[in-house]
Amino acid sequence: MATARKRRELFTILETSADTESTTACDSQDSPLNLSADVKWFEIPYRKPDSDEEDEVREEEDGEGENGFTSTAAAVETADAASFIAGGGCNIILVTGSNGIMHDEEEYAEDCYYSTSTNCSDTTSNDSDIDFSDLEEEERRSFFSFEDDLDEDCTSPDFWGEPDQVISIEPFSAVSGPQQSLGDDADTRDYFRILFPDSLFEHMVEQTNNYALYRQRRSGKSDPHWHPTDVREMKAYIGLNILMGINQLPDTGMYWASDIFIGNAGFKKTMTARRFEKLTQYLQLCDRESEPVRGERGYDGLFKIRPLLDVVENTMWDAYMPNRCLTIDKCAIVTKGRYSSTQYMPSKPLRKGLTVWMLCDSRSGYCHRAKIYVGKPSEDEAAACLGYRVVTSLVRGLEGQYHHLFMDSFFTSVPLLQRLLRNGLYACGPTQPGRKGYPEVLRPRNVGKLSQGEFYQCQHGNLVATVTRDVKVVSCLSTNSAPGIVGISPGRQQRETDGEGESDSMDNAGLSFGVPRPLPLLLYQENMRGVDLCDQLRECYQVGRPCKKWWRYFLWFYVNLCIVNAYIILRESRGGTPPAGFNGKQFTQRHFRVRLAQQLIGDYQGARGMERAARKRHADSPIEYGHRLERMSERSRRCRNCTNKGLRHESVFGCKICNVHLCRGGCFSEFHK
């Protein structure tokens, strides 16, 4: 610990006073890169000691005591900070770190966030999260040889220097936002068609009919309950699955229940329960007869959904151009089926599921691109740079546009940020301090136990390494944050009390103290929410039902993702104005989904639905249209009208046109009304 404290030529201890902050405070309008207006931020000038002797003299003059906090100067400085915050401003007091505190390594290891979380290092990971079967050979070589094309060796002792260099950030000037102009008459179906075109419905109909014949040929017998489907019926089928996410019931058959409190009249009118089950049974997206088996040339782990991916990935990318700030993170899809790529994630709310890497907009949550985990790669070297390959595959096409990427510690590394910076992309995110290239002097064993708000920084050009303590110790890397900038977000209100539990004075009551944070952490907290926002919109209303086929989960995932993206495009392109015909106060995602499902279903009615419609038209005068009470069979059956009312009566009479048994008496006329 003591050795790290002496080597201050490689990192900086930043501190400030009230006078310095008052002259460097900036307005909220010029706050760096999407910072909230509530954040007060300051630029702290770097002060390099002239010599080691002067530094030691300054440490001796700071105060005496066991821990360095008992000096009069420190007490006065703390009082000034409290008064400054109470007056509506912000003050930052950063511990110099040279106060003579001795740290116990075992105690610090328990407190350090990274002391036990070293299993995500790039050098130890053996999993692959994306499929590289559709990449060119040159792109594959660029992923696996990222260490060879670096300008400088990040492990060199001379790589990192003092944080006193000026960083260069090019302005973002690319076209961004929705690229479709549909006009004021466009409705939810038109926005959904941008991302999920009608050609996909036609492809689903063709492959579903072919798969039904394929299954019947393999079994050697025909299915008497199956007949070919069409585009109208397939759209109605998708619409019913969307409505199931809004009106959730434990079992699919309950939507067609005869109980008036459980059954859904709209589902019964659209198609029968048996027809819905048959469409679910034979639903298919690919030609199963030409599917290559594992080990053959051209094998694709995502062959069953490849036609869907080829269309949806292009439509999502073209419909909405990325804004300046983007988020890269992973999401999990709950599954009950058996699939080799299913992962067990004990630290996540969804402990078992399928993994998808996503590139989303930091503000709206729009998903621009998604990559699916398909299993471990065959190459050993491909498993050594997982996070590097995931990020570089997600940001293809953004080179030279100066976007700002925010990612978590699973991805962030020095080689990755160097590669992105060379390609005209800035990045920021926490990292694991044990990774290759991270400054040795900023690692936990060398920095020691930090106080809350204390931080150290090193710099190499635009690349800035920071270690600080917020709730726990955090190490981060950034290429879009200047060193020496600190901000304070509004904190919790605290009340200082004396030993008797009463306030000392009115001035100390209700003060709001915030934790000072360096600029990289502030930017990360403000912009690392794009994927979470997309997940919140997607998880509110699920699409589809659980099953044992793994590819169905990805099908409904992309359908749901297209709905979320279409809702975001409608909301931003119309400026919050709802579609024509909507009379509510606010057009929410629920209204969007209900309206979309209704437009997909339209006026489609299956065989049972048309029969019910004919019965309703003839209800005024059933005798005129041939409906009459007559003997149906020798064996009595339950009266349909009594069953609808929760009663149990049987009769041999009924209506042959409606094909139902009815009691003699009032049930005939009551049923036809």
pLDDT tens per residue, range 28-63: 344 455 555 555 555 555 555 444 444 444 444 444
Q: Which residue has the higher pLDDT, 497 or 541?
A: 541
- pTM, two decimals, is 0.72
Extents of the domains making up the chain? 177-292+300-321+541-606, 621-672
Residue 171, pLDDT > 90, answer: yes
Cα–Cα distance for residue pair 181/191, rounded to 1 Å: 10
Separation of CA 143 from chain center: 24
Helices 589-601, 530-540: crossing angle, 10 deg rounding: 50
CA distance 3 to 440: 12
- pLDDT band (50, 70, 90) for residue 158: confident
- Residue 83 banded pLDDT, cuts 50, 70, 90: very low
- The reported pLDDT for the residue numbered 524 is 93
The distance from CA 568 to its chain's CA centroid, rounded to whole angstroms, is 14
What are residue 468's DSSP bridge partners?
455, 474
3-state helix, strand, coil in the chain (%, to 5): 40, 15, 50
Q: Does residue 619 or residue 601 have the better pLDDT?
A: 601
Whether the predicted pLDDT of 406 surpasses 80: yes
Closest residue by Cα to residue 453 from 78, 55, 38, 22: 78
pLDDT given for residue 92 in this prediction = 31
Q: Is the pLDDT of residue 235 over 90?
A: yes
pLDDT at residue 598 in the model: 95
User: What stretch of H or E contains 437?
Assistant: none
Give the pLDDT mean for 486-498: 57
36-50, 252-266, 326-340, 577-591: range with lowest mean pLDDT: 36-50
Query: For residue 517, which of 443, 431, 463, 452 has the smallest C-alpha distance?
Result: 452
Average the pLDDT over 350-378 and give the result.
84
The tokens for 558 are 């992309």
Average pLDDT of the chain, as a whole number: 75
Query: Under a CB-based contact definition with an 8 Å cutoff, are residues 133 and 372 in contact?
Result: no
Residue in 196, 263, 265, 271 with CA at minimum distance from that of residue 233: 271
519 in helix, strand or coil?
Answer: helix
**322-331, 606-615, 620-629: lowest mean pLDDT where?**
606-615
Most trustworthy range by pLDDT among 15-29, 75-89, 114-128, 150-164:
150-164
Where b means 16+ CB within 10 Å and e means fewer, 296-305 reads: eeeeebbbbb
pLDDT value of residue 351: 65
Do the beta carbons of residue 5 and residue 448 sit within 8 Å? yes
Which residues have a Cβ under 8 Å from the Cβ of 583 and sit 6 or more positions away?
Answer: none
Q: Is the pLDDT of residue 77 over 70?
A: no
pLDDT at position 114 over 70? no
Residue 544's contacts (CB-CB under 8 Å, 6 or more residues apart) are: 241, 244, 245, 552, 553, 555, 556, 559
At 487 the pLDDT is 84
Q: In Å, how far from its chain's centre is CA 115?
A: 27
What pLDDT was estimated at residue 70? 32
The confidence score (pLDDT) of residue 591 equals: 94
Strands 660-661 and 653-655: antiparallel
